Amino acid sequence: MKPGLVLVCNRNPGPQSGAGVPGLKARAFPPEDADNFMADITWITGRIGLGGAIWRADQMAEVARAGVTHILNMQREFDDTPLAERQGITVFWNPIDDDFEPKPSEVFRRGVEFALQALDGADTKLYVHCAAGVHRGPMMVLAILCATGWEFAAAVETIERERPVADFPEVYLESVKQYLRQESMLKS
Range of the domain at 124: 37-182
Residue 137 CB: number of other CB atoms within 10 A?
Answer: 30
φ, ψ at 162 (rounded to 5°): -75, -30
For 112-133, give the DSSP string: HHHHHHHHTSTT--EEEE-SSS
Output the CA torsion 46→50→54→58 (10° steps). -20
Residue 44 CB: number of other CB atoms within 10 A?
Answer: 24
Residue 111 CB: number of other CB atoms within 10 A?
Answer: 25
Residue type, 99: D
Cβ–Cβ under 8 Å, residues 93 and 74: no
Reduced 3-state DSSP string for 160-173:
HHHCCCCCCCHHHH
pLDDT value of position 1? 30
In a domain, 6, yes or no: no
User: What is the chain's pLDDT, residue by residue, as a tens digit (188 residues)?
Assistant: 323 333 333 333 333 233 333 443 334 444 454 444 567 899 999 999 999 999 899 999 999 999 999 999 999 999 999 999 999 999 999 999 999 999 999 999 999 999 999 999 999 999 999 999 999 999 999 999 999 999 999 999 999 999 999 999 999 999 999 999 999 888 87
In a domain, 29, yes or no: no
In a domain, 149, yes or no: yes
Domain of 46, CATH number, reads 3.90.190.10
In a domain, 178, yes or no: yes
- How many structural domains does the chain have? 1
In a domain, 16, yes or no: no
pLDDT value of position 107? 98
In a domain, 116, yes or no: yes
